[in-house]
């Protein structure tokens, strides 16, 4: 016995418990596209924007984001420029970049690939190997995040883009909110937003998938047969805390359908704006003495990583 | 009781699982220690709904959702 689609007589391929709907392949794809478009309109994500950098790693989330944005880019009247960073993580990066490029070509989208090793002299594999020797204390995933954000922002600034769109999904949002609450990092909480306006030399950031779950982005990419890298980053295995939170929030979601969306929405709509106004009055940005990009100290965290790695790699 | 095969995509492992008659996809998901949000269950390349009833000797692919990216 099998479940039928709520909108037609075809067999359902998923049940969206939060929406009380069972959907066939065609109606699921339509549903996601409609919701995506609604999220953009409601949050005015691309208002007065003509050029948007879309960060595409080649994984399911960013590939889904690229295709969904491509669909709405005419309606909302902006141009998409793809940005892929080759992080130099063994075979994982090779496959990721290859998948990203396939999607750009499918959609005929302008894009740029930035090779970390080539442009800055070190790769994420180098960081993994020499991080301790270089005196870098932060975990590898957090270093990688800093590097990606720096490169994305710098590139978007250089080409005069209005915003950077990233593939952060609902599960990412739930994790960020929870972990920032847990560790009491109020400034982090203030920054978690579906839309962060530009300020100083920071280009605006947009997370249009913030209310779309990881399972939905995977289903969308699969059903539309989009090329994406399904492999897990070899360094992600080290994130056991992240894994516990993800698992636990999914247990809650199974028992209370819609919990993840409500949790994220209540935080983003009600709590974040209060924290954000407080945070804005506190932070003062300056230009990094080395690269000119924004920092609160004298030297930005990217330049610190880069110079620490240069010292170790020279030996 | 019925027997099904569960192919774990990430681990590249096949498990033989015994479940009650009329067991549903959700029972298989729980037996493997997951929730419906954690995995997509496929049969003949099509995703299944958690309420679908399992078939005796059916082969099911278990595809974890998390990419940890
Ligand atoms: Zn349908
Ligand atoms: Zn700098």
Question: Facing residues of B2 across strands?
Answer: B19
| CA distances for A133 relative to A47, A139, A209, angstroms | 46, 14, 38
Predicted pLDDT at A278: 79
pLDDT in tens, A21-61: 999 999 999 999 999 999 999 999 999 999 999 999 999 99
The sign of the dihedral angle between the CA atoms of A151, A144, A182, A167 is positive
| Protein fold of A36-314 | Rossmann fold (3.40.50)
- Determine the Cα–Cα distance for residues A155 and A153; give it in Å rounded to an integer: 5
Looking at chain A, the whole-number percentage of residues with pLDDT higher than 90 is: 91
What's the CA-to-centroid distance between A166 and ligand 1, angstroms? Answer: 30
Report pTM: 0.96
End-to-end CA distance of chain B: 39
Q: With CB atoms and an 8 Å threshold, state whether B10 touches A232.
A: yes
CA A38/CA A32 separation, integer angstroms: 10
Question: Per the CB < 8 Å rule, is A219 touching B52?
Answer: no
More confident residue, A126 or A284: A126
Domain coverage including residue B39: 2-64
Within 8 A by CB and 6+ apart from A25, the residues are: A10, A13, A223, B46
Residues of A in contact with B66 (CB under 8 A): 171, 214, 232, 243, 246
Instruction: Find the CB nearest B66 among A13, A214, A219.
Output: A214
Is a pLDDT exceeding 60 seen at residue A244? yes
* Contact call for residues A83 and A110 (beta carbons, < 8 A): no
Q: What's the confidence (pLDDT) of residue A2?
A: 87
CA of A36 to the centre of ligand 1 (A): 18
Q: Does any CB of chain A come closer than 8 Å to the CB of residue B52?
A: yes
Q: In what side-by-side order are the strands of the sheet with A163-165? A: A110-115, A79-86, A51-55, A163-165, A204-206, A195-196
- What is the mean pLDDT of the segment spanning A292-309? 96
If chain B, 69 residues long, is cut into consecutive pieces of 10 residues, what is the mean pLDDT of each piece? 95 95 97 97 96 96 83
- Rounded Cα distance, A6 and A22, in Å: 5
Please state the domain count of chain B: 1
- Enumerate residues 6+ apart whose C-beta is below 8 A from A304: none
Rounded mean pLDDT of chain A? Answer: 95
- B22: closest CA of chain A, how far (Å): 9
DSSP label of A53 = E
CA of A153 to the centre of ligand 2 (A): 12
Range A189-195 contact pairs with CB under 8 angstroms and sequence separation of 24 or more? A189/A271, A189/A272, A189/A275, A190/A272, A190/A275, A190/A276, A190/A278, A190/A279, A191/A276, A191/A279, A192/A267, A192/A268, A192/A272, A193/A268, A193/A272, A193/A276, A194/A39, A194/A43, A194/A45, A194/A268, A195/A43, A195/A44, A195/A45
Question: Residues A267-274: what's their mean pLDDT?
Answer: 94
- Residue B69: its pLDDT value, please? 43
Q: Residue A158 C-alpha to ligand 2 middle, in angstroms?
A: 15
What per-residue confidence (pLDDT) applies to B68? Answer: 58
Q: Mind listing the pLDDT tens digit for each residue in A71-92?
A: 999 999 999 999 999 999 999 9
Give the Cα separation of A292 and A168 in Å (integer). 27
CB contacts of B67 in chain A (<8 Å) are 59-61, 214, 230, 232-233, 236
Identify the band that residue A238 occupies on the pLDDT scale cut at 50, 70 and 90: low
The sign one gets for the Cα dihedral A206, A208, A214, A217 is: negative
Instruction: State the CATH number of the domain containing residue B42.
Output: 3.10.20.30
For chain A, which residues make up each domain, given as ranges? Answer: 36-314
Compute how many other C-beta atoms are within 10 angstroms of the C-beta atom of residue A110: 10
A213: contact with B, CB 8 A cutoff: yes
Q: How many residues does chain B have?
A: 69
CB A169 within 8 A of CB A214: yes
pLDDT at A300 > cutoff 50:
yes
- Please give the pLDDT value at position A28: 98
- Confidence at A314, pLDDT banded by 50, 70, 90: confident
Is the minimum CB–CB distance between B66 and chain A shorter than 8 Å? yes
Model confidence pLDDT, tens digit, residues A161-196: 999 999 999 999 999 999 999 999 998 999 999 999
In this complex, is the C-beta atom of B36 within 8 Å of any C-beta atom belonging to chain A?
yes
How far does the centroid of ligand 2 lie from the alpha carbon of residue A290, in Å?
Answer: 5
């Amino acid at each position: 016995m099998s479940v039928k689609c709520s909108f037609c007589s075809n067999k359902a391929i998923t049940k969206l418990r939060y929406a009380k709907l069972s959907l066939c392949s065609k109606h699921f794809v339509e549903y996601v596209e409609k919701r995506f478009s609604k999220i953009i309109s409601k949050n005015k994500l691309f208002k007065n924007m003509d050029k948007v950098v879309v960060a595409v790693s080649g994984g399911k989330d960013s590939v889904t984001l690229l295709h969904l944005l491509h669909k709405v880019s005419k309606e909302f009247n902006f141009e998409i420029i793809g940005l892929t960073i080759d992080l130099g993580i063994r075979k994982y990066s090779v496959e990721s970049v290859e998948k990203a490029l396939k999607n750009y070509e499918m959609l005929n989208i302008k894009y740029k690939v930035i090779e970390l090793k080539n442009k800055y002299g070190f790769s994420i594999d180098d960081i993994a190997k020499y991080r301790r020797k270089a005196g870098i204390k932060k975990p590898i995933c957090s270093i990688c995040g800093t590097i990606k954000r720096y490169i994305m922002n710098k590139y978007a600034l250089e080409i005069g883009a209005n915003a950077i769109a990233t593939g952060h999904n609902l599960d990412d949002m739930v994790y960020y909110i929870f972990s920032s609450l847990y560790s009491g990092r109020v400034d982090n909480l203030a920054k978690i937003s579906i839309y962060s306006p530009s300020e100083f030399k920071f280009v605006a950031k947009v997370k249009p998938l913030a209310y779309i779950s990881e399972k939905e982005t995977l289903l969308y990419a699969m059903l539309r047969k989009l090329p994406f890298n399904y492999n897990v980053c070899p360094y992600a295995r080290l994130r056991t805390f992240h894994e516990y939170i993800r698992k636990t929030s999914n247990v809650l979601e199974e028992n209370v359908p819609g919990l993840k969306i409500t949790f994220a929405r209540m935080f983003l709509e009600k709590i974040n704006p209060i924290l954000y106004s407080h945070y804005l009055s506190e932070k003062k940005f300056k230009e990094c003495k080395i690269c000119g990009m924004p920092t609160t100290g004298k030297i930005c965290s990217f330049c610190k990583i880069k110079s620490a790695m240069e010292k170790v790699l020279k030996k | 009781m019925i027997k099904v095969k569960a192919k774990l995509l990430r681990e590249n492992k096949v498990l033989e699982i015994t479940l009650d008659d009329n067991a549903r996809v959700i029972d298989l998901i729980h037996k493997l220690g997951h929730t419906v949000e954690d995995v997509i269950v496929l049969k003949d390349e099509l995703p299944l709904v958690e309420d679908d009833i399992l078939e005796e000797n059916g082969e099911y692919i278990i595809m974890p959702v998390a990419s940890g990216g």
